[in-house]
Amino acid sequence: MILVSSNSSSAAHYVAAEALRTADDSVKLLQNYINGHFVRGAREFADVNPADGSVIAQVSEATREQVDEAVAAARQALAGEWGRLTVPARAALLHRIADGIEARFQDFLLAEVADTGKPISLAARIDVPRGAANFRAFADIIKAAGLESFRTETPDGVVALNYAVRKPLGVVGIITPWNLPLLLLTWKVAPALACGNCVVVKPSEETPATAALLAEVMQTAGVPAGVFNVVHGFGPGSAGEFLTAHPGVDAITFTGESRTGAAILRAVAPTVKPVSFELGGKNAAIVFADCDFDETVNGIADAVFLNTGQVCLCAERVYVERQLFDRFVTTLHQKAQALRVGWPMDQATTTGPLISKDHRDKVLAYYQLARAEGATVITGGGIPKFDDGRDGGFYVQPTIFTGLPESARCVKEEIFGPVCHIAPFDTDEEAIAKANSTQYGLAGSVWTSNLKRGHRVAEKLRVGITWVNCWFLRDLRTPFGGMGLSGIGREGGIHSLNFYSELNNICVKLSD
Ligand code: NAD
Ligand code: 6OH
């Protein structure tokens, strides 16, 4: 049985949603932020609290004309005082933005919890701190970054100095998903601004609140009008598509589903915009019998269930060396049972709802499919019953399957829920081959006490990021991204700077 939070009668769970309500108890209207002003769109759509299905805010959908205005404002800002700021001045401004997030930590926290339904303890530990940390990191990275230079000597005796200068790309369109809304938005906004660009961001329609708060922070921090713009709306036929197809946008950076990435590639093709894509994953964890068992089971429980499995880096495939298989399955089962599926505002909650009814339908369809494909259900596989408001929310049970063939769709396709399939293996080569048998290539983890084996196996995984004896341990200077269906390019540290800027090589002849 999955434990559910016991304080269902407490009013505490309403607090996060209340954070988005206005004083007169009408729901708040989240507006677009264009050229330094909050503006309404032509239509509104509802922002729903996934914990109980209630409407917590209305969101103003940007029109095509408003997306045009945002892009024009960004273009104009490039030519103004923003374009003349020195790197140290931009870095100082990024630190002021981070200060602004920290000063309104509680507002960001409640808004993120209300929008996503994630446990408040998780948002307080990861989402909001990373929102501020992203700005501080890229303020420091841009100041420390060097550029290439070469002293050139040709065979016929000419000497020259080649050196590169960094320039902004111009207007960058930023499109982000709902799973880590503030973290993933600021992960792109911070380096884009650090490099001197102006941005138009389109947050997920499911989670618009922290982007709206970030606009307020930008205003207070003194970011010039037009440098940071927010347009709310959907993908096709809405702000997302208007932005990606816009001829005035110089580059698109996107995090989300692989299928959406493909649609955006088609949209940017006519104007040949550079893209940076962080897409889906079907990540594998490889557990060797010589691992530190407790550390490993705890690490894998996190890798499978954190954020209700809605992290692109989550492990949905766990391969365990055969002699450890039964013990591992039993212990991970116990960990799943110990999760507290509850109200997001309850400090004891470890596991919140999924983001939406549609997403829950998708995850439940995979739970059904796994049974049809012959899976053994170790735990979960359905919807928890609460007998309170949470029954109107989008909860699913944390779920573990075994017994599927490698060819099963549930082993091949990204589910994006609190679920994994565990399979045994006998040799290193078999584990590596199975882990790599996917069209995705985002992340992987290897769990072993044998360091040589850890290095060897990690290197052979066909992914952008491999963790050894840990998971989601981040250093913002490292390359981050995926291969195959998992994305195009790398961000993080210098890799972000290289995407968000154009390098201009200058060649100066030194000899007569
Ligand atoms: P999604 O692709 O449905 O939506 C992401 C964003 O794209 C939203 O803002 C949406 O409105 C917009 N969008 C949708 N269609 C569009 C179109 N045709 N043109 C322009 N914009 C469009 O993704 P999601 O459901 O919000 O997020 C979950 C997915 O994101 C999962 O697949 C997950 O693996 C992936 N993800 C990847 C990473 C990573 O770093 N690799 C990080 C987080 C999430
Ligand atoms: C995907 O859901 C998580 C992405 C995480 C990051 O982009 C990051 O920088 O940690």
Q: What does the alpha-carbon distance between residue 384 and residue 339 come to, in Å, rounded to a whole number?
A: 12
Distances from the Cα of 307 to the Cαs of 110, 315, 366, 466, in angstroms? Answer: 16, 12, 18, 20
The pairing of beta strand 28-30 with beta strand 487-488: unpaired
Mean pLDDT of the 186-191 span:
98
43: β partners: 61
Query: Ligand 2 centroid vs 480 CA: distance in angstroms?
Result: 8
Regarding the beta carbon of 313 and ligand 2, being less than 6 Å apart is answered yes
**What confidence score (pLDDT) does residue 27 get?**
75
Query: Ligand 2 centroid vs 330 CA: distance in angstroms?
Result: 30
Which residue has its alpha carbon closest to ligand 1 atom 39?
Answer: 278
Tokens of 389: 């408001």
Q: Tens digit of pLDDT for each residue in 264-274?
A: 999 999 999 99
pLDDT at 144 over 80: yes
**What confidence score (pLDDT) does residue 20 get?**
72
Quick one: which atom of ligand 2 is closest to the CA of 179? 2
Residue 156 — very low, low, confident or very high, per pLDDT cuts 50/70/90? very high
423: β partners: 319
| Catalytic residue of the set 61, 69, 112, 278 | 278
Regarding the beta carbon of 179 and ligand 2, being less than 6 Å apart is answered yes
Q: Tens digit of pLDDT for each residue in 446-467?
A: 999 999 999 999 999 999 999 9
Q: What does the alpha-carbon distance between residue 472 and residue 465 come to, in Å, rounded to a whole number?
A: 10
CB-CB contact of 476 with 493 (8 Å): yes
Residue 2 — very low, low, confident or very high, per pLDDT cuts 50/70/90? very low
Distance spanning both ends of the chain, measured CA to CA? 83
Quick one: which atom of ligand 1 is closest to the CA of 487? 41
Query: Ligand 2 centroid vs 492 CA: distance in angstroms?
Result: 10
Query: Ligand 1 centroid vs 152 CA: distance in angstroms?
Result: 45
Regarding the beta carbon of 465 and ligand 2, being less than 6 Å apart is answered no
Mean residue pLDDT of the chain comes to 95
Q: What phi and psi, each to the nearest 5 degrees, are found at residue 187?
A: -60, -25
Which residue has its alpha carbon closest to ligand 2 atom 6?
Answer: 184
Residue 22 — very low, low, confident or very high, per pLDDT cuts 50/70/90? low
504 burial via Cβ count (<10 Å: 0-12, 13-18, 19+): exposed
Which residue has its alpha carbon closest to ligand 1 atom 42?
Answer: 312
Which residue has its alpha carbon closest to ligand 1 atom 8?
Answer: 204
Residue with tokens 């933005």: 97
Query: Ligand 1 centroid vs 280 CA: distance in angstroms?
Result: 8
Which residue has its alpha carbon closest to ligand 1 atom 15?
Answer: 235
pLDDT at 13 over 50: no
**What confidence score (pLDDT) does residue 11 get?**
40
Q: Which amino acid is at 11?
A: A
Distances from the Cα of 264 to the Cαs of 173, 175, 257, in angstroms? Answer: 11, 10, 11
Q: What phi and psi, each to the nearest 5 degrees, are found at residue 453?
A: -65, -40
Quick one: which atom of ligand 1 is closest to the CA of 260? 2
Beta strands across the sheet bearing 159-168: 149-153, 159-168, 501-509
CB-CB contact of 203 with 232 (8 Å): yes
**What confidence score (pLDDT) does residue 18 get?**
67
Query: Ligand 1 centroid vs 350 CA: distance in angstroms?
Result: 24
Q: What does the alpha-carbon distance between residue 230 and residue 211 come to, in Å, rounded to a whole number?
A: 7
Mean pLDDT of the 52-65 span:
97
Mutate which of 136, 355, 474 for ligand 2? The one with the most ligand atoms within 8 Å of its CB, which is 474
**What confidence score (pLDDT) does residue 104 get?**
98
Query: Ligand 2 centroid vs 507 CA: distance in angstroms?
Result: 38
Regarding the beta carbon of 184 and ligand 2, being less than 6 Å apart is answered yes
Regarding the beta carbon of 264 and ligand 1, being less than 6 Å apart is answered yes
Q: Which amino acid is at 235?
A: G
Mean pLDDT of the 124-137 span:
98
pLDDT at 14 over 50: no
Mean pLDDT of the 118-142 span:
98
DSSP 195: T
Which residue has its alpha carbon closest to ligand 2 atom 7?
Answer: 184
Query: Ligand 2 centroid vs 93 CA: distance in angstroms?
Result: 24
Distances from the Cα of 366 to the Cαs of 179, 357, 410, 492, in angstroms? Answer: 19, 14, 7, 33
For the entire predicted model, the pTM comes to 0.95
| Catalytic residue of the set 195, 312, 410, 420 | 312
Residue 483 — very low, low, confident or very high, per pLDDT cuts 50/70/90? very high
Indicate if 316 belongs to the active site. no
Which residue has its alpha carbon closest to ligand 1 atom 23?
Answer: 256
Mean pLDDT of the 242-261 span:
97
Tokens of 75: 């273009």
**DSSP characters over 81-99:** HHHH--HHHHHHHHHHHHH
Mean pLDDT of the 45-58 span:
97
Quick one: which atom of ligand 1 is closest to the CA of 243? 20
Mean pLDDT of the 203-221 span:
98
Indicate if 312 belongs to the active site. yes
